[in-house]
Structure 1
Amino acid sequence: MTVMDDWVTAACAELDLDPGQVPVPAVLNLARDVAHQVLRPGAPVTAYLLGLAVGRGADPAGAAARLADLAAQWPVELGADRADPTAT
């Protein structure tokens, strides 16, 4: 097991969730896409939004793909605030 596997297993146990239902690669890829194409602080917020959508019944892979597509199409001029030191 990796540290990520250990963390997901422990976090799922804490929240009474099935770790087999956590699409770790999809969440990590989405966070990467948002961090690099929109802005860094948007990554955890987007992951949270994905979780809300899935909690309301959205397909995890489908919702992640839609958000990744949105990030890929995000206009450069609307991207990270260059005055923000946390921006990428």
Structure 2
Amino acid sequence: MNVLDAWIRAACAELDLVPADVDTVAVLDVARDVAHNVLRPGAPVTAYLMGIAVGRGADPADVAARLTALAVGWAADGQE
């Protein structure tokens, strides 16, 4: 187990969540895309927004795909 896995397990235990429900790769991928294509501070905020959307019932894979597409196209759309 690496430090990230240990942190996720500890945070999940603290929040009464199940570590298996955390798609770490998807969250990190979206955070990377936002940080590189939009703005670094946008990465943790976007991860938080992902959590809100998923907590309200949105499909995690759909949320990740939509946010990645938005981030990748951000500069191309003239948004800055």
Partner Cα separation in structure 2 for residue 60 and residue 50 of structure 1: 8
Task: Report deviation, 1:17.
Answer: 0.2
Q: Counterpart in 2 of 1:29?
A: 29
* Matched AA of 1:21: D
State which structure, 1 or 2, has the greater radius of gyration over its C-alpha atoms.
1
TM-score, normalization by structure 2: 0.94
Q: Counterpart in 1 of 2:72?
A: 72
Task: Report deviation, 1:61.
Answer: 1.2
Unaligned runs of 5+ in 1: 80-88
Task: Report deviation, 1:62.
Answer: 1.1
Unaligned runs of 5+ in 2: none
Q: Which has the higher helix share?
A: 2
Identity of aligned residues (%): 66
- Give every structure 1 segment of 4 or more consecutive aligned residues whose post-TM-superposition deviation is greater than 3 Å: none
Output one character per residue of 1:16-51: Cα deviation in whole Å (capped at 9) or x when no partner. Answer: 000000000000010000000000010000000000
1:53 aligns with 2:53: yes
Higher relative contact order (CA 8 A, sep 6+): 1
TM-score, normalization by structure 1: 0.86
Aligned residues: 79
Output one character per residue of 1:48-87: Cα deviation in whole Å (capped at 9) or x when no partner. Answer: 00000000001111101110000011025423xxxxxxxx
